[in-house]
C-alpha cells in the first residue's frame, strides 16, 4: 500500500513504539494521521511535536469504545494496531487483559472489516514463544508462552488469521523482540533493565543483576521497529507473522557492561538470586522479515544505548555520556 496521500490510524499512537511510527509516517506524506489512544500508557509528551502537524489529529479513546472506534476509522486506509495492556498489567488484572487485548483487538478487526480498511499492521509480541526451545527462534517456533499477556497476543494473531480466512482482510503481525529507545517507560513499576541500570548508576549505586547475568535477549532499537511497521503497511504479503529483531544475542552481563562503559562508571554489578521465573533466552531469526518485508535492523546496540542515555539526560537524569 502506498502511504502518500492516505488516511492512517495509529492505535496506541501516543505510546513508546506508536509515537515513533507517527514520526516516521509523517515523512511519507500521508493525508492524515489519526492518533487513537486513551493515554493509559501513552503520553502527551510523546506526541507533542507530531501533534503540531496539521495532518495529525488526536483522539482520546479506548479500543473498547466501539462507537468512537468505528466513527474514527471511517474512511481510513491503513491501521497500525499497537494498543494493549502490558505484561505486568495482564498479571495484575487478567480480566482487563481479556477486555482490552482480546475483545478490543476484535473490535479493531471487526471495524476494519466493515469499513473496508485496506491493511492492518498488528503488534503482537515475542512473548508468544515463551522461553526458547531453539535459538534463533524462527516463526515456526512453538507457542511456549506461560503468561496472560502472551496468551492475549496469541489470541490476537489467531483472530486476524481467522478473519483473513473469512474475508481476506489484509494484515501482517509483528512479534517484537526486546524493543528499547527514547520514550521507553522509566517511571512505572515494570521498567526495563536498561532503565533500572541507568537509575542505579545515576544514584551511585551498583547495578543489580538477578541470576548470573547469562540470560540473553535480542535488543532492537525503536527507530528500526517503526521502520519495520512502515514496511509492513507498504508490503504486499498478507496473513503472515514476523519476528522483528536483530538476530543478535546479548547477555544481561554484556548489556550492563555497555551501560557502565558508556557512562564512564566504575561501579561493579551486584548479583542477587533470581526472584521470578522470567524468560531466560529469546533471540529471533530475522530471515523471514528480510525475505518478505525487506526489513533488516541497522542500529547497533551500543549506538542505540548511547541515544537512550542522551534522551534520559534530556529528561533530567544525572549521568554523563562518553561520546
pLDDT tens for residues 283-321?
A: 999 999 999 999 999 999 999 999 999 999 999 999 999
Residues of the chain with CATH 3.40.50.720: 7-177+220-244
Residues of the chain with CATH 3.90.25.10: 180-218+248-282+299-314
Contact of 127 with 149, CB cutoff 8 Å: yes
* Rounded Cα distance, 73 and 112, in Å: 7
Phi, psi of 33 (to 5 degrees): -125, 125
Q: What angle do CA 243, 247, 249 make, to 5 degrees?
A: 130
With cut-offs at 50, 70 and 90, classify the pLDDT of residue 190.
low
149 is catalytic: yes
Evaluate if residue 2 carries a pLDDT over 70: yes
Active-site hit among 36, 149, 176, 221: 149
Q: Which three cell numbers stand for residue 161?
A: 488469521
| Structure confidence at residue 152 (pLDDT) | 98
| Structure confidence at residue 323 (pLDDT) | 80
| Structure confidence at residue 315 (pLDDT) | 94
Evaluate if residue 189 carries a pLDDT over 60: no
Q: Tens digit of pLDDT for each residue in 37-86?
A: 999 999 999 999 999 999 999 999 999 999 999 999 999 999 999 999 99
Report the greatest alpha carbon distance in the chain.
59
Mean pLDDT computed over 132-142 = 94
Q: Which three cell numbers stand for residue 63?
A: 479500543
Q: Tens digit of pLDDT for each residue in 236-278?
A: 999 999 999 999 999 999 999 999 999 999 999 999 998 766 7
Contact of 6 with 65, CB cutoff 8 Å: no
With 0-12 / 13-18 / 19 or more C-beta atoms within 10 angstroms meaning exposed / middle / buried, residue 51 is middle
Pairing of strands 178-180, 219-221: parallel
Write the CA distances from 141 to 9, 106, 310, integer angstroms: 31, 25, 36
Contact of 173 with 299, CB cutoff 8 Å: no
Percent of the chain residues past pLDDT 90, beyond the cut = 92
In DSSP terms, 172 is beta-bridged to 121, 240
* Rounded Cα distance, 2 and 193, in Å: 38
Mean pLDDT computed over 225-232 = 98
Class of domain 180-218+248-282+299-314: alpha beta
Q: Tens digit of pLDDT for each residue in 204-216?
A: 999 999 999 999 9
Mean pLDDT computed over 13-23 = 98
Under CATH, which number does the domain 7-177+220-244 receive? 3.40.50.720
* Structure letter (DSSP) for residue 247: -
Amino acid at each position: 500500500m502506498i502511504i502518500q496521500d492516505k488516511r492512517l490510524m495509529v492505535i496506541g499512537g501516543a505510546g513508546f513504539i506508536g509515537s515513533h511510527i507517527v514520526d516516521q509516517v509523517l515523512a511519507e506524506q500521508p493525508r492524515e494521521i489519526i492518533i487513537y489512544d486513551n493515554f493509559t500508557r501513552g503520553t502527551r509528551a510523546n506526541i507533542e511535536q507530531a501533534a503540531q502537524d496539521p495532518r495529525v489529529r488526536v483522539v482520546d479513546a479506548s479500543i473498547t469504545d466501539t462507537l468512537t472506534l468505528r466513527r474514527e476509522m471511517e474512511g481510513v486506509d491503513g491501521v497500525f494496531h499497537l494498543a494493549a495492556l502490558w505484561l505486568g498489567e495482564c498479571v495484575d488484572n487478567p480480566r482487563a487483559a481479556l477486555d482490552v487485548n482480546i475483545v478490543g483487538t476484535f473490535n479493531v478487526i471487526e471495524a476494519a472489516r466493515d469499513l473496508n480498511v485496506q491493511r492492518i499492521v498488528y503488534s503482537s509480541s515475542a512473548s508468544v514463544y515463551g522461553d526458547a526451545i531453539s535459538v534463533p527462534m524462527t516463526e515456526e517456533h512453538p507457542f511456549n508462552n506461560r503468561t496472560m499477556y502472551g496468551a492475549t497476543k496469541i489470541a490476537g494473531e489467531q483472530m486476524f488469521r481467522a478473519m483473513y480466512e473469512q474475508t481476506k482482510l489484509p494484515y501482517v503481525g509483528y512479534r517484537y523482540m526486546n524493543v528499547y529507545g527514547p520514550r521507553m517507560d522509566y517511571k512505572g513499576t515494570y521498567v526495563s533493565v536498561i532503565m533500572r541500570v541507568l537509575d542505579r548508576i545515576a544514584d551511585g549505586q551498583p547495578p543489580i543483576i538477578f541470576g548470573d547475568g547469562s540470560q540473553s535477549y535480542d535488543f532492537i532499537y525503536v527507530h528500526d521497529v517503526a521502520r519495520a511497521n512502515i514496511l509492513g503497511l507498504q508490503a504486499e504479503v498478507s496473513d503472515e507473522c514476523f519476528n522483528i529483531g536483530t538476530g543478535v544475542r546479548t547477555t544481561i552481563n554484556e548489556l550492563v557492561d555497555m551501560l557502565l562503559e558508556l557512562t564512564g562508571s566504575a561501579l561493579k554489578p551486584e548479583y542477587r538470586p533470581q526472584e521470578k521465573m522470567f524468560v531466560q533466552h529469546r533471540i529471533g531469526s530475522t530471515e523471514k522479515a528480510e525475505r518478505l518485508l525487506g526489513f533488516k535492523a541497522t542500529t547497533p546496540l551500543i549506538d542505540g544505548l548511547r541515544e537512550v542515555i542522551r534522551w534520559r539526560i534530556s529528561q533530567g537524569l544525572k549521568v554523563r555520556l562518553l561520546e
